[in-house]
Amino acid sequence: MNTFVTFEGIDGSGKSTVSGRVCEELKRRVLKVVLTAEPTKTPIGEFVNTCIRTNANPYLTAFTFIADRIQHCAQITQWLDEGKIVLCDRYAESTYAYQGAQLQGTIRSPMKWLQDLSNGKIIIPDRTFLFVIPPVKAVARIQQRTELIPFERQAFLERVHRNYLRLCTGPRFTRLDATLPIETLVLQCVQTIIGGKNE
């Protein structure tokens, strides 16, 4: 029953709420499921969070995110070997979209460069959900929180949003309208995951 599912989208797209609810729903159906996230809660993940908060050098940030992911993949592989459904809130497309936006203008084709760095070193998900929302709406949602991190500025999120739309094409990706009610989104994800396993 093992399958690896990732949830992607700009800040404020609601993917963390939905992935949590999807996990509960799959458990209710007596499926073996684990919910994880990046950056991870390991020392490397903590360092990643410091990089984000302090607006560190984008190359340092990119390499650290990839290092965190490579370490995370060992754990994900173990869960998959145990027959679990692994749900991951943010994964490789986050690095390509966000660090691609940060590195824009410093090197040619930053997203391709980041993909090349990762290829062969990380697991490819079976399914990736992209939560699509206009950045102006996402920022309105985020502003209700107290402290904004640098990545949550609208101009930056516009670039990340465009990167996601360029990246997330092909059979692995399912695009979701993130402005729909949470219940609808949860149902769409659950049906896609379970339907995918019955194919």
- Helix (H) / strand (E) element for 194: namely helix 182-198
Whose Cβ is closer to ligand TMP: residue 50's or residue 184's? Answer: 50
Task: Provide the minimum distance between the beta carbon of 50 and ligand TMP in the complex, in angstroms, as a whole number.
Answer: 12
Task: Provide the minimum distance between the beta carbon of 99 and ligand TMP in the complex, in angstroms, as a whole number.
Answer: 6
Which tokens sit at 68?
A: 């965190």
Contacts of 63 (CB under 8 A, 6+ apart): none
DSSP 98: I
The residue whose Cβ lies closest to ligand TMP is 98
Task: Provide the minimum distance between the beta carbon of 190 and ligand TMP in the complex, in angstroms, as a whole number.
Answer: 21
Contacts of 170 (CB under 8 A, 6+ apart): none
Task: Provide the minimum distance between the beta carbon of 2 and ligand TMP in the complex, in angstroms, as a whole number.
Answer: 22
Contacts of 118 (CB under 8 A, 6+ apart): 66, 69, 92, 95
Whose Cβ is closer to ligand TMP: residue 31's or residue 176's? Answer: 176
| Footprint on this chain of ligand TMP (rule: CB under 6 A) | 11, 38-39, 52, 65, 90, 94-95, 98-99, 151
Measuring CA to CA, which residue among 89, 74, 73 is closest to residue 39?
89
Measuring CA to CA, which residue among 90, 110, 92, 108 is closest to residue 100?
110
Task: Provide the minimum distance between the beta carbon of 35 and ligand TMP in the complex, in angstroms, as a whole number.
Answer: 13
Task: Provide the minimum distance between the beta carbon of 142 and ligand TMP in the complex, in angstroms, as a whole number.
Answer: 9
- Helix (H) / strand (E) element for 23: namely helix 15-28
- CA–CA distances in Å: residue 114 to residues 55, 92, 110, 121: 19, 9, 6, 12
Whose Cβ is closer to ligand TMP: residue 31's or residue 127's? Answer: 127
Whose Cβ is closer to ligand TMP: residue 14's or residue 39's? Answer: 39
Whose Cβ is closer to ligand TMP: residue 32's or residue 151's? Answer: 151
Whose Cβ is closer to ligand TMP: residue 41's or residue 197's? Answer: 41
Measuring CA to CA, which residue among 127, 126, 143 is closest to residue 135?
143
